[in-house]
Structure 1
């Protein structure tokens, strides 16, 4: 086998070039037959596979499953067959923490993909970090997960060397939306609502700071309970506020009915939110009142990327029942990052170390230096474990679908 340093991993074009997979075969979590004599390596996955956010969770799971299938099909790591173990956190922090403990206890698990929700990610970090079990999230966007609680003051401290993510964070997503609305849509007055959760409150906060900095005015603020579905009192206040738009820091199960009720109360202005509103489920729940609403999301639209063509083709060929949604490409790349780190460790030592703790620690360190051309573009991580790909997009609901209206990075003119 080839030998190389763990700290100079370069697998350019590996992910995209490896995306050749027959549509035949089973679609269970095994990723294919393990084969005689091959070592089974389990990649754990945590996401909301049931409940209100299950559409996003399914996209994450299916895309990770596809990465595992491709790795096995192409014998990506000599002597290793990968298996995906998917656990349902239902969008609950406590359940995510329990799942993290379960994955740590499985001696065949060498890496974890997920979760979707930032507050769930926070609950898992310490459990996985104490075991040196690498975690790569395709969807956690709260800055504090990698940069610490004081990140806003510039005092950035990475709390867990084993935690990474392939998606851009809210410290750029919120301001990116603010710049678009203020500079390009010429919206000057905002009503801000959040659900007090890690993701929603954090995103609304970064949006508000930038919007005010640009000269925008916040005409009102409110907090809602994400479990509520009757928002009539808040909706009336927003509709009468004189705002140019309402910004909702929450997820689509809350934001869709809230926005619909705001419009029912008489508002003629759009709802704007973050990546958790960029889903066909938002439009479906909102019914006919979502036209003109906007959402930012991480990265460029996959259909515009040459690197994503094989992924989209193979995802369709596998016959998954639900679409890959906003985080599918990022889930594939998260899984592939773990696979490439495992490959580097195996090649460095002529196979993975027999000691599980040693193997996990080496794999977690190896992820830091992973670099490859992925579905979503160039995949690499900075000193905090954050993606170096800072692209973002704004989508507007037009004709019953989300259409990209701007793609760029925060700070671009």
Structure 2
């Protein structure tokens, strides 16, 4: 399906309170010559807003909402008012695909932020690409999303021009984690577990390859199923293998329980995972102390960045019910990149949105560059972030604490 011409919805405030239809003019003027109208541009948001990962999803949605509020307050794009329309995928790929179709059908949506899960993103990419609708994920880390299925063999090819992300990939995160485990934590015998999902499986493979390259041993591997709760079998294997550590590719609901049961089985070893377990809910999911467990997450701790102070202040001022969580800063930057792309498109078209706004916004995103909440925001030829900063966090006294931040270098 080719992208249909965008029909801009505008509302004319006249003496008769006349409301224009979708056939209204794109220049923001009605027949009476009112020049004070604003065109509405909607940014779609897709994330798990309910279910076990809603703690992360709500933070994504709220942070995008904050970006649009700031843009409107500052009149960032003259003649344009930004709004948010959110969709709940519950971390289910089929739901994400349905949401993608709904966003494509909504002609006011010129870009979207999300999703959280790489597996969900895989189901959405083709839908968005056919409609020239740009998506910017603040959380996806699977390399194949931007570099194609053959990225590991060095044959990188961008499958969808509409896909971007502000989070760095697992190529970076997995290797960074392995280097910390081997060089800093001095671990030598790791047991690797994944949840069989696109994100978890890919991350675990990259970690294991780098750990072995450094000289460490992978003394065992196993898989678990999402929403499963009994990991006693895996825990026994970890103990029998005499592993000095565990690496888990997956999300916090299963990760917290796995950590709990490994320790209950008598294996007093830390569990490390990626950004999927970096959330207070990981600690809450466990009935045994998680002190010593580790996680990597993209970027530097938001609270330690001077660039994030205003974001944190503004977020708090809005009184959102949920915290911005692990991906708040990246979600704000994702939304702001779309806003800046819209701004460029409007400026290049004499202050108006063109008929092919979606395609033009996608094109403009590739050239975006600004200082964001999480640092410099720009994209490479694959749509990946150029920001390769990461942080290792450790559970200390029942809370995540940063222990090392660095820019990844090969």
Point out the more displaced range, 59-68 or 225-234: 225-234
Equivalent pair of 2:263/2:288 in contact (CA under 8 Å): no
What secondary structure does 2:285 align onto? helix
What secondary structure does 2:276 align onto? helix
What secondary structure does 1:406 align onto? strand
Displacement of 1:72 in angstroms is: 0.6
What secondary structure does 1:275 align onto? coil
The answer on 1:337 being equivalent to 2:337 is yes
Distance 1:253 1:400 in 2: 16
User: What residue is the counterpart of 2:408 in the other structure?
Assistant: 410
Displacement of 1:287 in angstroms is: 3.6
The answer on 1:366 being equivalent to 2:368 is no
User: What residue is the counterpart of 1:55 in the other structure?
Assistant: 55
Displacement of 1:354 in angstroms is: 4.8
- Root-mean-square deviation over aligned CA pairs: 1.1
CA deviation profile, 1:257-285 (whole Å, cap 9, x unmatched): 11111111111010100001110111111
User: What residue is the counterpart of 2:176 in the other structure?
Assistant: 176
CA deviation profile, 1:29-58 (whole Å, cap 9, x unmatched): xxxxxx961111110000000000000000
User: What residue is the counterpart of 1:21 in the other structure?
Assistant: none
Q: TM-score, normalised by structure 1?
A: 0.90
User: What residue is the counterpart of 1:8 in the other structure?
Assistant: none
Displacement of 1:350 in angstroms is: 1.8
What secondary structure does 2:142 align onto? coil
The answer on 1:166 being equivalent to 2:149 is no
What secondary structure does 2:59 align onto? helix
CA deviation profile, 1:175-219 (whole Å, cap 9, x unmatched): 101111101111000000001100000000000000000000011
CA deviation profile, 1:221-259 (whole Å, cap 9, x unmatched): 001111211111111111222111010101001111111
Equivalent pair of 1:40/1:108 in contact (CA under 8 Å): yes
User: What residue is the counterpart of 2:32 in the other structure?
Assistant: none
User: What residue is the counterpart of 1:93 in the other structure?
Assistant: 93
CA deviation profile, 1:64-120 (whole Å, cap 9, x unmatched): 010010001111111110110000000000000000000000011100100000000
Task: Report the structure number with the largest CA radius of gyration.
Answer: 2
Displacement of 1:304 in angstroms is: 1.4
**What is the number of equivalent residue pairs in this alignment?**
376
Distance 1:249 1:130 in 2: 32
User: What residue is the counterpart of 1:246 in the other structure?
Assistant: 246
User: What residue is the counterpart of 1:202 in the other structure?
Assistant: 202
Which residues of 2 match residues 7-46 of structure 1 at below 5 A?
37-46=37-46
User: What residue is the counterpart of 2:232 in the other structure?
Assistant: 232
The answer on 1:192 being equivalent to 2:160 is no
User: What residue is the counterpart of 1:110 in the other structure?
Assistant: 110
Structure 2 unmatched ranges of 5 or more: 1-34
User: What residue is the counterpart of 1:220 in the other structure?
Assistant: 220
User: What residue is the counterpart of 2:18 in the other structure?
Assistant: none
Displacement of 1:411 in angstroms is: 3.2
User: What residue is the counterpart of 1:401 in the other structure?
Assistant: 399
Distance 1:393 1:169 in 2: 14
